[in-house]
Amino acid sequence: MSEPTTGRPAPGAAVRPGQERFVAPLEETPLAAVDAVDDSAPTGGVFSEAWKQLRKRPIFIVASLIILLLVVVSLFPSLFTSTNPRFVDLSTALDGPSAEHPLGVTRGGTDVYARLIYGARASVSVGILTTVMVVVVGGVVGALAGFYGGWLDAVLSRVADVFFALPLILGAIVLLQTVRTRNVWTVALTLALFGWPQVARIMRGAVLQVRTNEYVTAAKSLGLSRMATLVRHVVPNALGPVIVVATISLGTFIAAEATLSFLSLGLPPNIVSWGGDISNARATLRTNPMVLLWPSIGLSVTVLSFLMLGDALRDALDPKGRTR
Protein backbone atom coordinates (compact mmCIF):
# COMPACT_ATOMS: atom_id res chain seq x y z
CA MET A 1 0.00 0.00 0.00
CA SER A 2 1.68 3.14 -1.15
CA GLU A 3 -1.29 5.54 -1.14
CA PRO A 4 -2.52 6.97 2.21
CA THR A 5 -6.18 6.28 2.82
CA THR A 6 -7.10 9.43 4.71
CA GLY A 7 -6.47 13.09 4.04
CA ARG A 8 -4.84 14.70 1.11
CA PRO A 9 -1.25 14.07 0.29
CA ALA A 10 0.93 17.10 0.54
CA PRO A 11 2.17 18.01 -2.89
CA GLY A 12 5.49 16.43 -3.44
CA ALA A 13 5.76 15.23 0.14
CA ALA A 14 7.29 11.85 0.73
CA VAL A 15 4.79 9.86 2.71
CA ARG A 16 6.05 6.99 4.77
CA PRO A 17 4.06 3.78 4.93
CA GLY A 18 1.39 3.74 7.62
CA GLN A 19 1.47 7.50 8.10
CA GLU A 20 -1.93 8.96 8.79
CA ARG A 21 -1.17 12.58 9.51
CA PHE A 22 0.92 14.99 7.60
CA VAL A 23 2.02 18.55 7.85
CA ALA A 24 -0.39 21.01 6.29
CA PRO A 25 0.95 22.95 3.30
CA LEU A 26 2.63 26.19 4.19
CA GLU A 27 0.00 28.46 2.69
CA GLU A 28 -2.64 26.95 4.97
CA THR A 29 -0.76 27.48 8.22
CA PRO A 30 -0.84 30.67 10.35
CA LEU A 31 2.96 30.53 10.28
CA ALA A 32 2.81 32.78 7.26
CA ALA A 33 1.31 35.51 9.42
CA VAL A 34 4.18 35.13 11.85
CA ASP A 35 6.70 35.44 9.04
CA ALA A 36 4.91 38.52 7.77
CA VAL A 37 5.80 40.51 10.91
CA ASP A 38 7.96 43.46 9.94
CA ASP A 39 11.28 42.88 11.63
CA SER A 40 12.53 46.36 10.92
CA ALA A 41 9.69 48.01 12.85
CA PRO A 42 10.76 49.70 16.11
CA THR A 43 10.31 47.52 19.19
CA GLY A 44 7.73 48.48 21.78
CA GLY A 45 10.11 49.50 24.57
CA VAL A 46 9.39 50.99 27.97
CA PHE A 47 9.38 54.51 26.60
CA SER A 48 7.05 53.97 23.65
CA GLU A 49 4.66 52.10 25.96
CA ALA A 50 4.83 54.99 28.40
CA TRP A 51 4.17 57.46 25.61
CA LYS A 52 1.04 55.56 24.53
CA GLN A 53 -0.24 55.72 28.08
CA LEU A 54 0.73 59.35 28.64
CA ARG A 55 -0.98 60.66 25.51
CA LYS A 56 -4.36 59.82 27.01
CA ARG A 57 -3.84 61.56 30.36
CA PRO A 58 -5.25 65.09 30.59
CA ILE A 59 -2.94 65.96 33.51
CA PHE A 60 0.08 65.19 31.30
CA ILE A 61 -1.25 67.22 28.39
CA VAL A 62 -2.09 70.24 30.55
CA ALA A 63 1.29 70.16 32.32
CA SER A 64 3.19 69.79 29.03
CA LEU A 65 1.34 72.70 27.45
CA ILE A 66 2.07 74.98 30.42
CA ILE A 67 5.75 73.99 30.39
CA LEU A 68 5.94 74.56 26.63
CA LEU A 69 4.45 78.01 27.12
CA LEU A 70 6.94 78.72 29.92
CA VAL A 71 9.87 77.74 27.73
CA VAL A 72 8.65 79.99 24.92
CA VAL A 73 8.10 82.86 27.37
CA SER A 74 11.59 82.50 28.82
CA LEU A 75 13.23 82.26 25.39
CA PHE A 76 11.32 85.12 23.76
CA PRO A 77 9.84 87.37 26.48
CA SER A 78 9.63 90.28 24.07
CA LEU A 79 6.90 88.42 22.15
CA PHE A 80 4.57 88.83 25.10
CA THR A 81 5.29 92.37 26.21
CA SER A 82 6.93 95.41 24.72
CA THR A 83 7.47 97.05 28.13
CA ASN A 84 10.95 97.03 29.61
CA PRO A 85 10.71 95.26 33.01
CA ARG A 86 13.47 97.52 34.37
CA PHE A 87 11.91 100.77 33.20
CA VAL A 88 11.08 102.87 36.27
CA ASP A 89 8.45 105.58 36.43
CA LEU A 90 8.02 106.48 40.08
CA SER A 91 5.06 108.76 39.37
CA THR A 92 2.96 105.68 38.56
CA ALA A 93 4.24 103.61 41.51
CA LEU A 94 1.61 101.29 43.02
CA ASP A 95 -1.01 102.33 40.44
CA GLY A 96 -3.72 99.77 39.85
CA PRO A 97 -4.31 97.99 36.54
CA SER A 98 -4.66 100.32 33.54
CA ALA A 99 -4.46 100.06 29.77
CA GLU A 100 -0.75 100.79 29.90
CA HIS A 101 -0.05 98.50 32.86
CA PRO A 102 -2.48 95.56 32.67
CA LEU A 103 -1.48 94.20 36.10
CA GLY A 104 -0.54 97.45 37.77
CA VAL A 105 2.78 98.91 38.86
CA THR A 106 5.19 97.87 41.61
CA ARG A 107 6.37 100.01 44.50
CA GLY A 108 9.54 100.68 42.55
CA GLY A 109 7.57 101.99 39.56
CA THR A 110 8.09 99.01 37.22
CA ASP A 111 5.39 97.21 35.24
CA VAL A 112 4.09 94.11 37.07
CA TYR A 113 3.10 92.28 33.88
CA ALA A 114 6.48 92.82 32.20
CA ARG A 115 8.27 91.59 35.31
CA LEU A 116 5.98 88.57 35.48
CA ILE A 117 6.92 87.69 31.88
CA TYR A 118 10.66 88.37 32.21
CA GLY A 119 10.85 86.62 35.61
CA ALA A 120 10.10 83.26 33.98
CA ARG A 121 13.56 83.13 32.42
CA ALA A 122 15.45 83.16 35.74
CA SER A 123 13.27 80.44 37.24
CA VAL A 124 13.28 78.16 34.21
CA SER A 125 17.01 78.49 33.52
CA VAL A 126 18.04 77.87 37.14
CA GLY A 127 15.65 74.91 37.29
CA ILE A 128 16.92 73.32 34.07
CA LEU A 129 20.63 74.00 34.78
CA THR A 130 20.41 72.56 38.29
CA THR A 131 18.50 69.51 37.14
CA VAL A 132 21.00 68.78 34.35
CA MET A 133 23.93 69.01 36.79
CA VAL A 134 22.15 66.93 39.42
CA VAL A 135 21.20 64.22 36.95
CA VAL A 136 24.73 64.01 35.51
CA VAL A 137 26.56 63.95 38.86
CA GLY A 138 23.97 61.96 40.79
CA GLY A 139 23.40 59.60 37.87
CA VAL A 140 27.10 58.79 37.44
CA VAL A 141 27.71 58.38 41.18
CA GLY A 142 24.57 56.30 41.69
CA ALA A 143 25.23 54.08 38.67
CA LEU A 144 28.85 53.40 39.68
CA ALA A 145 27.91 52.73 43.31
CA GLY A 146 25.05 50.42 42.41
CA PHE A 147 26.82 48.51 39.63
CA TYR A 148 30.27 47.97 41.10
CA GLY A 149 29.25 47.71 44.77
CA GLY A 150 31.86 46.86 47.39
CA TRP A 151 34.10 49.58 48.79
CA LEU A 152 33.27 52.00 45.95
CA ASP A 153 29.60 51.79 46.91
CA ALA A 154 30.43 52.23 50.61
CA VAL A 155 32.53 55.35 49.97
CA LEU A 156 30.18 56.97 47.45
CA SER A 157 27.10 56.25 49.57
CA ARG A 158 28.68 57.81 52.66
CA VAL A 159 29.69 60.90 50.68
CA ALA A 160 26.11 61.19 49.43
CA ASP A 161 24.86 60.78 53.01
CA VAL A 162 27.06 63.67 54.12
CA PHE A 163 25.51 66.05 51.59
CA PHE A 164 22.06 64.63 52.24
CA ALA A 165 22.34 65.42 55.96
CA LEU A 166 22.42 69.15 55.19
CA PRO A 167 19.00 70.41 54.06
CA LEU A 168 18.99 72.00 50.57
CA ILE A 169 17.97 75.52 51.59
CA LEU A 170 20.17 75.53 54.70
CA GLY A 171 23.32 74.51 52.87
CA ALA A 172 22.59 76.91 50.01
CA ILE A 173 22.09 79.85 52.40
CA VAL A 174 25.43 79.23 54.12
CA LEU A 175 27.34 78.77 50.86
CA LEU A 176 25.74 81.62 48.92
CA GLN A 177 26.45 84.10 51.72
CA THR A 178 30.16 83.69 50.98
CA VAL A 179 29.84 83.73 47.18
CA ARG A 180 30.80 87.11 45.73
CA THR A 181 29.32 86.87 42.25
CA ARG A 182 25.78 85.60 42.38
CA ASN A 183 24.14 84.78 39.06
CA VAL A 184 22.12 82.01 37.45
CA TRP A 185 25.21 79.77 37.24
CA THR A 186 26.42 80.09 40.82
CA VAL A 187 22.90 79.67 42.24
CA ALA A 188 22.37 76.57 40.08
CA LEU A 189 25.78 75.16 41.10
CA THR A 190 25.01 75.69 44.78
CA LEU A 191 21.61 74.00 44.53
CA ALA A 192 23.18 71.13 42.58
CA LEU A 193 25.88 70.67 45.23
CA PHE A 194 23.27 69.88 47.86
CA GLY A 195 20.72 68.31 45.50
CA TRP A 196 22.62 65.49 43.78
CA PRO A 197 22.44 62.83 46.54
CA GLN A 198 18.73 62.28 45.96
CA VAL A 199 19.25 61.37 42.31
CA ALA A 200 22.25 59.25 43.28
CA ARG A 201 20.11 57.25 45.70
CA ILE A 202 17.34 56.69 43.16
CA MET A 203 19.84 55.73 40.43
CA ARG A 204 21.68 53.34 42.75
CA GLY A 205 18.44 51.62 43.72
CA ALA A 206 17.32 51.28 40.10
CA VAL A 207 20.73 49.93 38.98
CA LEU A 208 20.71 47.39 41.80
CA GLN A 209 17.39 46.06 40.47
CA VAL A 210 18.34 46.07 36.79
CA ARG A 211 21.75 44.49 37.44
CA THR A 212 20.23 41.07 38.19
CA ASN A 213 18.28 40.83 34.90
CA GLU A 214 19.06 38.06 32.38
CA TYR A 215 20.12 40.40 29.61
CA VAL A 216 22.86 41.78 31.83
CA THR A 217 24.15 38.26 32.44
CA ALA A 218 23.87 37.61 28.70
CA ALA A 219 25.90 40.72 27.88
CA LYS A 220 28.53 39.61 30.38
CA SER A 221 28.73 36.07 29.01
CA LEU A 222 29.03 37.42 25.46
CA GLY A 223 32.22 39.12 26.60
CA LEU A 224 31.07 42.71 26.84
CA SER A 225 33.25 44.73 29.22
CA ARG A 226 31.79 45.78 32.58
CA MET A 227 31.77 49.45 31.65
CA ALA A 228 30.08 48.81 28.30
CA THR A 229 27.47 46.62 30.01
CA LEU A 230 26.74 49.39 32.47
CA VAL A 231 26.47 52.11 29.83
CA ARG A 232 24.63 50.16 27.13
CA HIS A 233 22.36 47.81 29.05
CA VAL A 234 22.01 48.79 32.71
CA VAL A 235 21.74 52.58 32.64
CA PRO A 236 19.13 52.86 29.86
CA ASN A 237 16.88 50.45 31.73
CA ALA A 238 17.38 52.20 35.07
CA LEU A 239 16.54 55.67 33.74
CA GLY A 240 12.77 55.56 34.34
CA PRO A 241 12.72 56.42 38.08
CA VAL A 242 15.53 58.96 37.53
CA ILE A 243 13.51 60.82 34.90
CA VAL A 244 10.55 60.93 37.28
CA VAL A 245 12.56 62.28 40.20
CA ALA A 246 14.38 64.74 37.92
CA THR A 247 11.09 66.23 36.70
CA ILE A 248 9.78 66.65 40.23
CA SER A 249 13.16 68.04 41.37
CA LEU A 250 13.03 70.63 38.58
CA GLY A 251 9.94 72.02 40.28
CA THR A 252 11.52 71.97 43.73
CA PHE A 253 14.72 73.63 42.44
CA ILE A 254 12.66 76.45 40.94
CA ALA A 255 10.93 76.86 44.29
CA ALA A 256 14.31 76.75 46.05
CA GLU A 257 15.77 79.43 43.78
CA ALA A 258 12.78 81.66 44.47
CA THR A 259 13.15 81.01 48.20
CA LEU A 260 16.82 82.00 48.07
CA SER A 261 16.09 85.13 46.01
CA PHE A 262 13.33 85.90 48.47
CA LEU A 263 15.86 85.66 51.33
CA SER A 264 18.05 88.00 49.23
CA LEU A 265 20.69 85.26 49.02
CA GLY A 266 19.81 84.08 45.54
CA LEU A 267 19.82 86.07 42.32
CA PRO A 268 20.90 89.73 42.65
CA PRO A 269 18.29 92.52 42.13
CA ASN A 270 19.49 93.29 38.59
CA ILE A 271 18.18 89.91 37.43
CA VAL A 272 14.39 89.91 37.19
CA SER A 273 13.11 86.96 39.20
CA TRP A 274 9.81 86.02 40.79
CA GLY A 275 11.43 85.30 44.15
CA GLY A 276 13.03 88.74 44.26
CA ASP A 277 9.80 90.43 43.15
CA ILE A 278 7.82 88.64 45.86
CA SER A 279 10.39 89.77 48.39
CA ASN A 280 10.14 93.38 47.18
CA ALA A 281 6.36 93.28 47.28
CA ARG A 282 6.36 92.28 50.97
CA ALA A 283 6.46 95.90 52.07
CA THR A 284 3.16 96.66 50.36
CA LEU A 285 1.43 93.39 51.29
CA ARG A 286 -1.22 95.17 53.35
CA THR A 287 -2.03 97.92 50.85
CA ASN A 288 -1.39 96.33 47.44
CA PRO A 289 -1.51 92.53 47.82
CA MET A 290 -1.96 91.93 44.07
CA VAL A 291 1.60 93.09 43.37
CA LEU A 292 2.74 90.18 45.50
CA LEU A 293 0.19 87.71 44.21
CA TRP A 294 1.08 87.88 40.48
CA PRO A 295 4.66 86.62 40.73
CA SER A 296 3.45 84.14 43.38
CA ILE A 297 0.90 82.77 40.94
CA GLY A 298 3.52 82.53 38.19
CA LEU A 299 5.87 80.67 40.51
CA SER A 300 3.21 78.30 41.86
CA VAL A 301 1.84 77.42 38.43
CA THR A 302 5.38 76.69 37.19
CA VAL A 303 6.27 74.45 40.12
CA LEU A 304 2.89 72.77 39.98
CA SER A 305 3.14 71.95 36.28
CA PHE A 306 6.49 70.20 36.79
CA LEU A 307 5.02 68.27 39.72
CA MET A 308 2.03 67.24 37.62
CA LEU A 309 4.31 66.16 34.78
CA GLY A 310 6.39 64.13 37.23
CA ASP A 311 3.27 62.54 38.69
CA ALA A 312 2.06 61.52 35.24
CA LEU A 313 5.52 60.22 34.28
CA ARG A 314 5.70 58.20 37.48
CA ASP A 315 2.50 56.37 36.61
CA ALA A 316 3.83 55.60 33.14
CA LEU A 317 7.52 54.91 33.79
CA ASP A 318 7.88 53.68 37.36
CA PRO A 319 5.54 50.76 37.99
CA LYS A 320 6.64 50.44 41.61
CA GLY A 321 5.85 54.01 42.58
CA ARG A 322 2.46 53.96 40.92
CA THR A 323 -0.24 55.85 42.76
CA ARG A 324 -2.95 53.74 41.06
Residues near other proteins, by CB under 8 A: 158-159, 161-163, 165-167, 169-171, 173-175, 177-178, 180, 251, 255, 258-259, 262-263, 265, 278, 282, 285-286, 289, 292-293, 296, 299-301, 303-304, 307-308, 311, 323-324
In whole angstroms, the minimum distance from the beta carbon of 129 to other proteins comes to: 19
Q: Please, what is the minimum distance in Å from the beta carbon of residue 288 to other proteins?
A: 11
- Of 148 and 163, nearer to other proteins (C-beta) is 163
Q: How far is the CB of 263 from other proteins (least distance, A)?
A: 7
Minimum Å distance from CB 175 to other proteins?
5
Closest CA relative to residue 267, chosen from 194, 170, 185? 185
b/e map 176-203, b = 16+ CB within 10 Å: beeeeebebebbbebbbbbbbbbbbbbb
Measured CA distances, 248 to 15, 77, 156, 293 (Å): 68, 25, 24, 23
Q: Which of 249, 251, 248, 213 has the alpha carbon at shortest distance from 233?
A: 213
Q: Backbone dihedral region of 278: left (phi > 0), alpha (psi from -120 to 50 degrees) or beta? A: alpha
DSSP state of 43: P
Residue 272 C-beta: closest distance to other proteins, Å: 17
- The CA distance from 81 to 229, in Å, is 51
Through-space distance between the first and last CA atoms of the chain, rounded to whole angstroms? 68
Neighbours of 116 (CB within 10 A): 24
Judged by beta carbon, residue 6 or residue 178, the one nearer other proteins is 178
Our CB check for other proteins shows the closer of 34 and 165 to be 165
Nearer to other proteins, 123 or 125 (CB): 123
Please check whether residue 240 is in contact with residue 46, taking contact to mean a CB–CB distance below 8 angstroms: yes
Determine the length of the chain.
324
Residue number, 166 or 224, with CB nearest to other proteins:
166
Nearer to other proteins, 35 or 161 (CB): 161
- Nearest approach in angstroms of CB 155 to other proteins is 9
**CB nearer to other proteins: pick between 267 and 278:** 278
**From the CB of 259, what's the least distance to other proteins, in Å?**
6
Q: Find out whether 253 and 127 touch, Cβ atoms under 8 Å.
A: yes
Instruction: Give the span between the Cα atoms of 174 and 263, in whole angstroms.
Output: 12
